[in-house]
Structure 1
Amino acid sequence: MDRKRVEELLCLSKKKERLAHAYMVQGGSQKIRKEVGVFFSQLLVCETDDKKTISPCKKCSACLLVKKESHPDVQWVTPEKSILSIDEVRRLKEEIYIKPFSAQYKVFLLEADWMKQEAANSLLKILEEPPPYGVLVLLVRTAHNFLPTIVSRCIRLSLNLELDKEVEQKNAQIIKCILDARRKRNWNEFFNRINAFVKDTEREEQESLVEQVVLLAHASFIQNEAKSAGAGQPQLPERKQTDIMDIKLDTMERILQFRNRLRYNVNPRVLLERLILEFR
């Protein structure tokens, strides 16, 4: 869904008094997820009592405080490296059972992509017995990184990743420049271009570029295999053929591993450098 549709569903839930205690907003970009979190928080604490609209006014003192991330009943939890720890869940548990200061609801927005086992178990207890005024909103890249027991207790709202054609074309140009620098062994330009890209983009766009490079490496590997097969090379001993096949399978496996490493919060800069340096 696009952001507008997600916000409409949240407004409708509030209007029909069918709000849940836990939501998981997944997908999209980090910026869009955060904006949805701000919108939902404003919706829950807005002080304007306008029967003509179900959206937050975004002008009252409560809405403005939410935007500044200083509303007493709206708390942001942004763990280091997006991995939620047990200590952060314990602090959340202490806070959530204290009644709201001024609003009807007490909102906790968790920007996390991973959760340690003990943290997940502790959070699960909160989800099983939430206070009537408590609302937890998990802002995550993907629900696949969380235990099914956590996901099943949340209302899931999936955002589209809005990387337009212009971004894809820009990524293709960046890949070309990086590869050119590698071929010319211009290592200063090679590392500087990767550093500049990682510095100026969000995680989702970085992942998109790494994905494109992985696909390029995969296509190059397949193309080279096709050329080798059609070259009419002399038959090798069976043991030698087995050794070569093991090397090829290992190469293919390493290509796929680069894609999987992104799920484990590997630094995209390091991943790009290794990926491009390792494969021709």
Structure 2
Amino acid sequence: MMNNSHGYLIFGDKNKSILWAKEKASTILNISINTLGSYQDFSNEDYDSFGIDESRRLKERAFMRPLAGENKVFVISSHAFTVEAQNALLKLFEEPAKGTYFFIITQNLNNILPTLISRLVMVRLEDKSISNEEEDIATDFLSSNPAKRLLFINKIIEKKVKGEMDEFLNNLESMAVKKIEKKDKIFISTMENIHKSRKYIGSRGSSPKLVLEYLALSLPII
């Protein structure tokens, strides 16, 4: 039918993310967005934490036949997804049932596994879009060799207080998604290194400079 992926990972502003998912769902299901709530093949669920039990129920429902049409849409919003739940969903997102679409919404990318990210189309819906300057910094960082990256770390640190480091990591991630083929092993390793950096930057007493030095030496040149 239309050019829709079977799986999306949407992060950023929650209200914008839900609206975006509903607009996509109304197109996929060929119904008005106002009637989604009562439509049998549309599911919109919100969790504090999405665990292994929720993933099993989702898998069971995903392989049931649609009741009203040819397609089904699942919108899942959660602040956290357990590692067990994500591992259980890998196969589902890699080989989804025909006519089944998933929209995964979170404001916390810190606990999303790179292997899960690789199976979904990432959509970033922040309150503010990435500026040209921020995009240029992230692009220059990724395209430079490790020696050059280390040289302009101080320049980045001058503009990035620790509270803004998550934003820089988001920009690196967005640029990597644009520039690397998801099936490439480099994509997984890049996401894993950014994932590790997010965890570290969130810990007490972490050093933004050490995070950048780690990324400068570990990320591939793209």
- TM (norm. structure 1) is 0.44
| The structure with more helix, counted as a fraction of residues | 1
Between the two proteins, the alignment pairs up a number of residues equal to 138
1:254 offset after TM fit, Å?
A: 4.6
Aligned residue number for residue 38 of structure 2:
70
Aligned residue number for residue 26 of structure 2:
42
Percent of matched pairs sharing the same residue: 25
1:145 offset after TM fit, Å?
A: 2.3
Separation in structure 1 between the aligned mates of residue 27 and residue 51 of structure 2, nearest angstrom: 28
1:160 offset after TM fit, Å?
A: 2.5
1:1-280 paired onto structure 2 within 5 Å: 17-27=2-12, 29-47=13-31, 58=32, 63-66=33-36, 69-79=37-47, 81=48, 83-162=49-128, 254=204
DSSP 3-state at the match of 1:113: strand
1:95 offset after TM fit, Å?
A: 0.6
Dislocated runs of 4+, deviation >4 Å: 253-257
Contact 1:99/1:133 (CA < 8 Å) preserved in 2?
no
Separation in structure 1 between the aligned mates of residue 204 and residue 107 of structure 2, nearest angstrom: 24
Contact 2:80/2:108 (CA < 8 Å) preserved in 1?
no
DSSP 3-state at the match of 1:157: strand
| The structure with more strand, counted as a fraction of residues | 2
Contact 1:113/1:145 (CA < 8 Å) preserved in 2?
no
Provide structure 1 residue ranges, at least 5 long, that are not aligned to the other structure: 1-13, 48-57, 164-211, 216-252, 258-280
RMSD: 2.6
Provide structure 2 residue ranges, at least 5 long, that are not aligned to the other structure: 130-160, 165-202, 208-222
DSSP 3-state at the match of 2:38: coil
1:256/1:45 CA distance change after superposition, 3 Å? same
- TM (norm. structure 2) is 0.55
User: Deviation string for 1:8-64 (max 9, x for gaps)?
Assistant: xxxxxx6xx32211111111x2111111121111111124xxxxxxxxxx3xxxx33
1:142 offset after TM fit, Å?
A: 4.1
